[in-house]
A and B are shown apart, each in its own frame.
Chain A
Amino acid sequence: MKNAVPLRLHVPEPPARPGQEADFSWVKVPPAGTVTRPDIAVDPYEIRRHAYELIRVLDDNAAAVGPWDPRLDAETVRRGLRAMMLTRAYDERMFRAQRQGKTSFYMRCTGEEAVGVGQAMALDDRDMTFPTYRQQGLLITRGWSLVDMMNQVFSNTRDRLKGRQMPIMYSSKEAGFFSISGNLATQFSQAVGWAMASAIKGDDRIAAGWIGEGATAEGDFHHALTFASVYRAPVILNIVNNQYAISSFQGIAGGERTTFAARGLGYGLPSLRVDGNDFLAVYAVTRWAADRARANLGSTLIELFTYRAAAHSTSDDPSKYRPADEARHWPLGDPIERLRAHLVARGEWSDERHGQLAAEVDGEVRDALREAESYGTLGTGEHHSPATMFDDVFKEMPWHLRRQRQELGY
C-alpha cells in the first residue's frame, strides 16, 4: 500500500524568534480560583483534567481566591516575600561577581523564585530535597548561610566542597539539600530512592525532587515516575517548566501538544499544573502533595509553569534565540511583584516597608559578600591546597593516589 503523500518530519518551532514580536497567545490563563481542590485521597483518574488546568490563587486584583488559597497569615507571606527578594538580590550580586572575574560561572533563577521559596516553606525543614541548579531558593528559605553559599561560588579557602564543584553546585546534608550534579535529571529518580528508604525505615520525612522541563526527556525522569508510582513513594516530583532549555523552547522537550504535568497520567500519578509565579498557589499545591505523601497515599507530579526571565547562565545570550523583550510579555508576571501587590491589597504592606526590606536584603547580601571575599575568590586564586585534590576519591586513599599526590609535590 502506498501513501498518498510523502512522509515528512515535524520539527517544532517556537512562536517567535529574535526580531519577531513576542507571542504568548498560546498560553491559556484561566481566572484564579477556578480549579477544584480535591481531597488528598482522590483517585488520580478523577482529577486527570488537573494536568491540563492551571491552578492559580492570586487574582487580577492580587486577592487570594478559590479553594487553593492556603490562607496564610500575613507574617508567613511576608517571610515568603523576603526569601524571594533575598534570593534575587543574592543572584544579582553573584551574577555581577562573575562578570567581575571573581568566579567562573553563575546561574540565576530570576522569575522562578516562587518555586524554591514557596516549596521550601510548604515542606518541613527536615524533608529531603533533590534540586536542580535553579533552586537556590530552597537553601535561602531554610536559612542557610549566604556566606557558605558564596564560599562555594568562589571556590575559596572556606568552600566546604574544596573547590571541587563548579559554582552553584551546592551540597548540604545538614540543610536537607542533595549535592547538585551537572548531569541533568539524575537527581529526580534519586529523590524517589530516598523516599523509598524513608518508607522502608518507617520514617516520617518525605522527599522532593526538581527537574527542568527540558530534562524530562532523559530516562531518569521516567524512572522516577515508574518507581514513584509502583512503590507509592512519599516524594513530590516537581517539573519546573520555565519554557526554555538553554536555546530550545519547551516544544522541543515535548510540550507542543500536551502539558508536562500530563506525563504523570500514564503512570497513574495525580498530576497538578500550577501557576509557578503565584507564590500562594505554589505553596498550596506543594502542601497538598506533601499531605498526600505523609498519609502514605504516594507521589504527586507537579508542573510549575513559569518563565526563565534571565539567561540560562553567564555563558548564555538569549537574544540569539528568543525575542529580546520576550520576558516583558510573559503573561504570568513576576512572582515577587505579585506577592508584594497581594500584601498591599491585604493592607499588610506598603511601598515604604517594601523599600526598607529591599535595602535590608541588599545589605545582608553585601555583608555576606564582604565576609566571603575575605576568604578569597576564584579570581584571587585563594583556594584549598592542591593536596586536597586526592582526598575523597575513596574513603581510604589507595597507594596509587598517594603516589600521584607525591608526584605533584605534596
Chain B
Amino acid sequence: MVQALNAAMDIMLGRDANVVVFGEDVGYFGGVFRCTEGLQRKYGPSRVFDTPIAEAGLLATAVGMGAYGLRPVVEIQFADYIYPATDQLISEAARLRYRSVGDFTAPITVRAPCGGGIFGGQTHSQSPEAIFTHVCGLTTVIPSNPYDAKGLLISAIEDDDPVIFLEPKRLYNGPFDGHHDRPVTPWTEHPAGEVPDGYYTVPLGKASVVRSGEAVTVLTYGTMVHVAMTAVAESGVDGEVIDLRTLIPIDIDTIVDSVRKTGRCVIVHEATRTSGFGAELSALVQENCFYSLEAPIVRVTGWDTPYPHSLEWDYFPGPKRVAEGLRRAMEG
C-alpha cells in the first residue's frame, strides 16, 4: 500500500505542476512510513519538502497555498498529531468555500496514518475520523487496500475541496485479518494488492461491496474490512461486507440497497464507540431502512478508552468480537 500511495503522489506531481507534497520528514528521508520516498529526488525540494514540526503551521500554509492556486498534499506523521491543526482545518479549510462563496477554496489533501496494531500506545493508534465527519465541508476517506488507496488518493488530490485521507497504518505492508498472532501476509497475495501502473481514479463518495451476502449487511472501512471478512468466513454467517471507502459524502444508495435486502446491519469500526461514525451510520440505516430491519443494528467498535499499549489486542475489535456481533444481529 505504501508503494500505491507513493505512486499516486508521483503521478499527480507529474501531471499537475500545482501539486506540492510536504510534511515532517517527508522530503529527503521519504517519510517515517516511506510513503514519499524518492519524490523529492524526482521533483525537487520546492515541490516535495520537509517542514518544521508544527501541524497548525502545516495546515495554515496549505490554506495559503490553496488560495494561491496550488494543490497541497500534506502529511501528518500520525493522525494522533493532527489536533494542533484542527483550527485551521475546521474553522478555515472546511469553510473557506462557503464563507467566500467560492471565491477562495482549499484544495488540500491531508494524509495521516491512523489506527492501531503496532503497539503504538495512545498517541500512535487513534482513529479520529468522526471528528472530521462531524465538520461540514470536509471529505473523509479511508482506503482498505492498495488498489483503492492509489485511485482514491488521486481523486482526493484532484478534488477542489479539503480531503482528510486516513491511511490505516496496519495495512501499509499487508492485509490484516485481525489475527495478530499469525504471520503477516504481504499484499502480493491479495487480489487488491495488484495495482495498475499509471493514472486511474477510484471515485470519492462510492462504497464497494467486497462480499455479497444475503443474511446481514456489514458496514465497515479501513483495517476492519479485512477483519470483517475473516469474521464472516469464521462465523459462517452470509454477510454482505461493504467497504465504505469514503465516509463523507457517504454512499447512501449502496447502504440502503443492501440493508433493504438483508434486513440486518452490523457496523464495525476500530475507533471508539460513543459518537463514533457508527452512530451516524446507525441513524442513517434507521432513518432509511426502518421498515426493512428485522433486528436491532449492532455496533462492534473499539472501547471508549484511550488505546492502551500492552492491552492493544484486548482493545482491538478482532474477528472474535465481530463474529459475535454477526451472531447477535442474526439472533436479534
A positions within 8 Å CB-CB of B:
8-9, 11, 13, 17, 104-105, 155, 159, 162-167, 169, 181-185, 214-215, 217-220, 245-248, 252-254, 315, 320-321, 378, 383-384, 386, 388-390, 393, 400-401, 404, 408
Also in contact, A182 and B52, with CB within 8 A (given A384-B311, A389-B303): no
B283 located at the interface, meaning its Cβ lies under 8 Å from any Cβ of chain A in the complex:
no
The closest CB in chain A to the CB of B124 belongs to A182
Contact check, A164 vs B121: say whether CB atoms are below 8 A apart. Answer: yes
Contact check, A181 vs B123: say whether CB atoms are below 8 A apart. Answer: yes
B131 located at the interface, meaning its Cβ lies under 8 Å from any Cβ of chain A in the complex:
no
Interface string of B270-305 (1 = CB under 8 A from A): 000110000000000000000000000000000111
- For the complex, what is the distance from the CA of A378 to the CA of B24, rounded to whole Å? 30
The closest CB in chain A to the CB of B302 belongs to A404
The closest CB in chain B to the CB of A215 belongs to B53
Of the candidates A167, A169, A386, A390, the one having the most CB atoms from chain B within 10 angstroms of its own CB is: A386
The residue that A166 contacts in the complex, of B83, B273, B309, B315, with Cβ under 8 A, is B309
Name the 10 nearest CB pairs between A and B, nearest first.
A182-B123, A163-B310, A217-B52, A166-B121, A155-B310, A247-B29, A104-B119, A386-B314, A217-B54, A11-B45
B50 located at the interface, meaning its Cβ lies under 8 Å from any Cβ of chain A in the complex:
yes
B81 located at the interface, meaning its Cβ lies under 8 Å from any Cβ of chain A in the complex:
yes
Contact check, B25 vs A383: say whether CB atoms are below 8 A apart. Answer: no
Please give, as numbers and ranges, the residues of chain B lying within 8 Å of A389 by CB-CB distance: 303, 305, 308, 311, 314-315
B128 located at the interface, meaning its Cβ lies under 8 Å from any Cβ of chain A in the complex:
no
B80 located at the interface, meaning its Cβ lies under 8 Å from any Cβ of chain A in the complex:
yes
- For the complex, what is the distance from the CA of A104 to the CA of B180, rounded to whole Å? 14
Please give, as numbers and ranges, the residues of chain B lying within 8 Å of A166 by CB-CB distance: 119-124, 309
Please give, as numbers and ranges, the residues of chain A lying within 8 Å of B50 by CB-CB distance: 11, 247-248, 252
- For the complex, what is the distance from the CA of A401 to the CA of B305, rounded to whole Å? 8
Please give, as numbers and ranges, the residues of chain B lying within 8 Å of A167 by CB-CB distance: 309
Contact check, B121 vs A183: say whether CB atoms are below 8 A apart. Answer: no
Contact check, A164 vs B122: say whether CB atoms are below 8 A apart. Answer: yes
For the A-B complex with A164-B121, A248-B24, A315-B32 known, give 6 more contacts whose Cβ atoms are closer than 8 Å.
A163-B309, A166-B124, A218-B56, A219-B84, A246-B32, A404-B304
For the residues of A in contact with B, the DSSP-based class is: loop
The residue that B46 contacts in the complex, of A8, A218, A315, A384, with Cβ under 8 A, is A8
The residue that B28 contacts in the complex, of A217, A245, A247, with Cβ under 8 A, is A247
Please give, as numbers and ranges, the residues of chain B lying within 8 Å of A388 by CB-CB distance: 311
The residue that A393 contacts in the complex, of B32, B56, B120, B306, with Cβ under 8 A, is B306
Please give, as numbers and ranges, the residues of chain A lying within 8 Å of B53 by CB-CB distance: 184-185, 214-215, 217-218, 245, 248, 253
B57 located at the interface, meaning its Cβ lies under 8 Å from any Cβ of chain A in the complex:
yes
The closest CB in chain A to the CB of B56 belongs to A219
CB under 8 Å from chain A, chain B span 1-39? 24-25, 27-29, 32
Question: Distance in Å from the Cβ of A392 to the closest Cβ of chain B?
Answer: 9
CB under 8 Å from chain A, chain B span 247-269? none
The closest CB in chain B to the CB of A377 belongs to B310
Contact check, A321 vs B29: say whether CB atoms are below 8 A apart. Answer: yes
Please give, as numbers and ranges, the residues of chain B lying within 8 Å of A104 by CB-CB distance: 119, 309
Please give, as numbers and ranges, the residues of chain A lying within 8 Å of B311 by CB-CB distance: 163-164, 383-384, 386, 388-389
Question: Distance in Å from the Cβ of B174 to the closest Cβ of chain A?
Answer: 18
Please give, as numbers and ranges, the residues of chain B lying within 8 Å of A254 by CB-CB distance: 52
Question: Distance in Å from the Cβ of B105 to the closest Cβ of chain A?
Answer: 22
Also in contact, A253 and B52, with CB within 8 A (given A9-B46, A378-B310): yes
Of the candidates B120, B122, B273, the one having the most CB atoms from chain A within 10 angstroms of its own CB is: B122
Also in contact, A182 and B80, with CB within 8 A (given A164-B308, A321-B28, A393-B306): yes
B49 located at the interface, meaning its Cβ lies under 8 Å from any Cβ of chain A in the complex:
yes
Please give, as numbers and ranges, the residues of chain B lying within 8 Å of A393 by CB-CB distance: 304-306
CB under 8 Å from chain A, chain B span 38-78? 45-46, 49-57
- For the complex, what is the distance from the CA of A218 to the CA of B54, rounded to whole Å? 4
The residue that A183 contacts in the complex, of B45, B54, B123, B274, with Cβ under 8 A, is B123
- For the complex, what is the distance from the CA of A252 to the CA of B49, rounded to whole Å? 10
- For the complex, what is the distance from the CA of A184 to the CA of B53, rounded to whole Å? 9
Question: Distance in Å from the Cβ of A187 to the closest Cβ of chain B?
Answer: 13
The closest CB in chain B to the CB of A315 belongs to B32
Please give, as numbers and ranges, the residues of chain A lying within 8 Å of B24 by CB-CB distance: 245-246, 248
The closest CB in chain B to the CB of A157 belongs to B310
Please give, as numbers and ranges, the residues of chain B lying within 8 Å of A390 by CB-CB distance: 303, 305
Please give, as numbers and ranges, the residues of chain B lying within 8 Å of A11 by CB-CB distance: 27, 45-46, 49-50
Also in contact, A164 and B309, with CB within 8 A (given A218-B53, A252-B51, A400-B274): yes
Contact check, B119 vs A248: say whether CB atoms are below 8 A apart. Answer: no
The closest CB in chain A to the CB of B87 belongs to A219
The closest CB in chain B to the CB of A408 belongs to B314
- For the complex, what is the distance from the CA of A2 to the CA of B16, rounded to whole Å? 26
Contact check, B57 vs A183: say whether CB atoms are below 8 A apart. Answer: no
- For the complex, what is the distance from the CA of A106 to the CA of B82, rounded to whole Å? 23
Please give, as numbers and ranges, the residues of chain A lying within 8 Å of B273 by CB-CB distance: 400, 404
Question: Distance in Å from the Cβ of B115 to the closest Cβ of chain A?
Answer: 15
- For the complex, what is the distance from the CA of A218 to the CA of B52, rounded to whole Å? 8
The closest CB in chain B to the CB of A166 belongs to B121
CB under 8 Å from chain A, chain B span 152-192? none
- For the complex, what is the distance from the CA of A159 to the CA of B308, rounded to whole Å? 13
- For the complex, what is the distance from the CA of A400 to the CA of B51, rounded to whole Å? 42
Please give, as numbers and ranges, the residues of chain A lying within 8 Å of B27 by CB-CB distance: 11
Question: Distance in Å from the Cβ of A213 to the closest Cβ of chain B?
Answer: 10
Question: Distance in Å from the Cβ of B2 to the closest Cβ of chain A?
Answer: 15
A–B complex contacts, Cβ < 8 Å, 17 sampled: A11-B27, A155-B310, A162-B308, A163-B308, A164-B308, A166-B123, A218-B54, A218-B84, A253-B52, A315-B32, A383-B310, A389-B305, A389-B314, A389-B315, A390-B303, A390-B305, A404-B304
Contact check, A401 vs B304: say whether CB atoms are below 8 A apart. Answer: yes
- For the complex, what is the distance from the CA of A165 to the CA of B57, rounded to whole Å? 28
Contact check, A400 vs B84: say whether CB atoms are below 8 A apart. Answer: no
CB under 8 Å from chain A, chain B span 68-122? 80-81, 83-84, 119-122
The closest CB in chain B to the CB of A390 belongs to B305
